[in-house]
Structures are given as structure tokens and as C-alpha cells.
Amino acid sequence: MERVISIFKEICAIPRGSGNRIPISDYCVRFARKRGLSVRRDSACNVVIEKAASPGYEKAEPVILQGHLDMVCQKTEESEVDFLRDGIQTVIEGDFMRAVGTTLGADNGIAVAMILAILERQDLAHPALEAVLTVDEEIGLLGADQLNKSLLRGRRMINLDGEDENSVMVSCAGGVDYVMRLPLEKKKSRGTISTVTVFGLRGGHSGAEIGNGRLNANLLLGSMLGRLHQITPFEIVSLSGGDKGNAIPPRARAILSVRYPEEFKEEWERLFRSVREENSVREPNLSAEVTFSDPTEIQALTPACGTRLLCVLSCVPNGVVEMSAEVSALVETSLNLGILAERDGAAEMHFLLRSNKRSALEALKAKMEAFAFLSGSSGEFSGDYPPWEYREKSPLRERYLALYADLFGKEARVEAIHAGLECGVFDSAMPGLDCIAIGPNLYGIHTVEEKMSLSSAERIYKAVCALLADCRD
């Protein structure tokens, strides 16, 4: 396991945010070539490394080990990390590894580290291996979608993008990105400039955490300003929040032209106290800041346009749409407003729609198109990826469950997940694929609170090695 952590630290030193494909791809290619392994890289920078079967396993069916190379890059306000140039600084505290001021990137760097460690081992019994390391998973499973799956020989796949060691995932949500654009009209306005910021929300993964009641900073700020607008006059200069489509935004900001600053501040503080008290359990660190600068002339939204934008933010669908009727406590369909920004004369709202059912996802797409029409907006879908349907029969799943129980004296849970996994992309393109998704205990993924249990990572690594040794047929 020491070697796994050593490789993971090497990976952390490489800038590998989504879209920054080449440095981490180069690392994997060099790793394979240095060890005499067959490696190929496609035009998208996906990397496939092959290793021949160990003695006695030559007739066994190949096994695919799969993980993704990119990470979600989030940092604290104080962090000076440049994600295009700098790596991640890690620290170990007891059983946990975390990063200093940033996301850790164990999602999914620890999978890559485990796979590479397995590939370089000479003492491990295993069938022929195909290590499939994909790019840009975090922004729509783009690498998996671009990979030529017909070149893969294996029809058994171990995906290592899980985050709960006691869980074996067997189904995931499909999803699609939706950008809705509301045209903005502006005029000259004169008033006291106020910057209003809400922050300290828990945020988190827009699939795994969407059912936990966490507030969306974009919608919270929009709703509060909508209520405040009925009490004291102001005009909107800009509204913005969030920078990742697949993360629940923990922070949002409004710049306003305020007519009566003292009245505005008093009413804002009254309203915020009420909202904070109502949400003290779900959002214990909810905070706000209001600052003022001297009166000036500035371009602000027209009253009608500002009202329309606040109405959209108050009424747009968000969060859990429907729970599963088949799987207990599973969110079946949801959406998240991850990014709110002004671009090219419009308020752009970036949503990620998810569902474990294709029909429900199509219905949600139709609902968003209808909402856009009624609000005078336009919209565009992109990055559609399929759900991973549950298979009643899975020899790989049953083999892993038996091994897990033997190794650790407890049974793993078989679960579906309301988040996108690359398993769905591979399953839809590879008939007969037998797939499971597993991984170590990760906490706070996609946030600066992300941390990984080292003992859990060791157990998962042990389980994967045991599973490979058991795949003799």
C-alpha cells in the first residue's frame, strides 16, 4: 500500500483539472513505457495500458481496470494555488489524507494510483489486464465517450470511482448539461453600490449530495433578493455564483445599485437572520456580507429585466425532482444550477440534469425547455450520457461480494447511485459487459473539505488484488 500512496502523491503533483489533459496523460504513458508495458493514447488523451496474464491465467477472460485522470479543482479564498500550473499539497492527519486549501483529487486519483501500482507488480496473479484511464470525467464523461471501446477485449470491468468501501455500485444516473440564457437589458443607474455575498454553505456533489437538503447559493441569494425587492428599491448590476456545473455552489454574489442604503442594510439583516435560523441545521455555517461604496453612475438591469431574473431564480426547478419507486432512498431524478454568470449580454444558468431512468431524463429536459420558453429564455443541451442499468445477473458482482465477506468479515451493500459513472458509457457501447464500481471511503468530494481514509484505501486495494487473483476463468 505504501507504493499506492507514493504514486498518488506523484499524481497530486501534476496539474490535472478537467480540460488539462496532457500532463497527467504524459505521466501515465511514461509510467507504462518505463515498465515495458503496451500503451496507447488516443486523440482525446485517454490512455489504455495492457499487461499480459500472469502464468496460469493465460486462458482467463481479460479484466478492465478503469478510473479517470481529471479532478474537480476547488480552493479556499486564501489559497494561492494556480490549478493550471501547481500541484496539490497533501497532508496526513491520523487515518486521513487531505489537501491544503484545495480539493484533494482522490476522486479519482487514488483509482489511478491503485491501477498503476497493480500494473507494476510482479508478484500478483491476474488475467490479462486492460487499464483504461480516461480524461474529463468530471465535465460530462467526455473521455469515456470519445474512447474507441471496440478496441477493448475485456468484458469484465472494475471501475474504481466509488467513494464508500462498503458499497458495490451496480447502477448510476445518466445526465445532460443544460445552459439557459436569459437576455439582459441595461440602463444607466445612479445609486450607492452594494456588494452582497452569501457564503459558507456546504456545497458538494450535485448527484451524491443533492438529496441531503443542502442549499444552492445561487438560488438562495436570488430568492432573498426577490423578497427584499418588494420592500426596498434597488437595481441589479450583476449576479454570479458557482464555477462547476456538477457542484452545488457554496457561494454567490450580487452587485446592486441601492437607493436607500441604510434601509437596505436593515431589511437585509432582518431577512438574513430569519433565513439563517430556519436553516441552522442543514447549513450551520451560512454567512453573509454586505458592503457599500460611494454613490456612482453604473450600468444596471432595467427594472423589468431585473424582476424577470429574480423571478426565474425564485421559480426555476432545482434539486430533487423524484425519488425512486424501486430503490429505497434513491434520488431518481434531479437537477442542479451549478453556475450563474453574465456572458455576452445574457444571464447564463448552467444546469446538470440527472436521472437513473432515460424516460424521466427526457421528461425533465422537456420541462426545462418549457420553463425557458415561459421565461423568455433560450437553452441548449450538451454532454448527454446514458444511465447504467441494473443487471440481475453479474458473476463479477457475486464473486466480489463473496471475497469481500471472506476478507473483512462483513457483507458489502449493493447500491445504485444518483451520479454519473463512466460505467454507463462503457455499458451502453459494450454488449455483455459485466461491471462493478467500488472505491475507498472519500468524504467531501468536489469541496475543499475532501479527505480520504488511508486504511479504507488499503482495504479496497487488497480486495481488488484478491478479486483479480480469483478471476481464473
User: How far apart, in Å, are the Cα atoms of 100 and each of 15, 199, 449?
Assistant: 15, 20, 9
Bridge partners of residue 193, in order along the sequence: 257
User: How far apart, in Å, are the Cα atoms of 466 and each of 37, 196, 410, 462?
Assistant: 22, 54, 16, 6
Residues designated as active site: 70, 137
Q: What is the pLDDT of residue 109?
A: 98
Q: What is the pLDDT of residue 111?
A: 98
- Positions in the chain short of pLDDT 70: none
240's CB contacts (< 8 A; 6+ apart) are 252, 253, 254, 340, 341, 342
Q: What is the pLDDT of residue 39?
A: 98
Q: What is the pLDDT of residue 385?
A: 85
Q: What is the pLDDT of residue 334?
A: 97
Task: Find cell 454567490 and name the residue.
Answer: 252
For 38, other C-beta atoms within 10 Å of its C-beta total 12
Tell me the average pLDDT of the chain. Answer: 96
Q: What is the pLDDT of residue 245?
A: 87
For 176, other C-beta atoms within 10 Å of its C-beta total 22
Q: What is the pLDDT of residue 327?
A: 77
* CATH pick for 178-385 out of 3.30.70.360, 3.40.50.620, 3.30.1390.10, 3.90.700.10: 3.30.70.360
Whole-angstrom distance, CA of residue 301 vs CA of residue 315: 19
208 with 72: CB under 8 angstroms? no
Q: Per CATH, is 2-173+387-470 categorized as 3.40.630.10?
A: yes
CA angle 279, 282, 287 (to 5 degrees): 60
pTM of the model: 0.74
Residue-range domain boundaries for the chain: 2-173+387-470, 178-385
Q: What is the pLDDT of residue 425?
A: 94
Task: Find cell 440534469 and name the residue.
Answer: 353
Question: Which runs of consecutive H residues, i.e. helices, occur in 353-418?
Answer: 358-374, 395-408
